[in-house]
Amino acid sequence: MSIMLDRTTNKENVRPIKLVEGVFRKILTYNESVMLCHFLLEKDAKIPIHNHKEHQIGYVINGKIKFLTESGAFIAKKGDSYVFDSNEKHWALIIEKAEVIEVFHPSRDDYK
């Protein structure tokens, strides 16, 4: 006989946390090694310059975001993915209302 484990989190059941004006995060699931987050980003919102020790990979479900780094800028739109290395300084301007999934490795202690 096997026991059914509930290892799922539905984003509709997670309350969003406001990070800055127009930027909302939901932590979907994590362990010590990896964290999965869902972000809702309102048009014209700005994510201030920051960096963190965790590597960051993102996927744009909808919308358009301009990212800036010390080495240049790029635009990520629906269907695009992107990566920031550990301690890489980055910031963003939300060009169109966006929905994004991001993975952090290891998990971000400041988000727990």
State percent of the chain over pLDDT 90.
94
- 29-to-54, 76, 83 alpha-carbon distances in Å: 16, 24, 19
Domain assignment present for residue 9? The answer is no
Instruction: Find tokens 């010590």 and name the residue.
Output: 32
Query: Is 80 exceeded by the pLDDT of residue 3?
Result: no
Q: What CATH number is attached to the domain comprising 107?
A: 2.60.120.10
Domain assignment present for residue 4? The answer is no
Instruction: Find tokens 């004006």 and name the residue.
Output: 21
- Are 100 and 60 within 8 A, CB to CB? yes
52-86 confidence digits (pLDDT tens):
999 999 999 999 999 999 999 999 999 999 999 99
Q: How many domains does the chain have?
A: 1
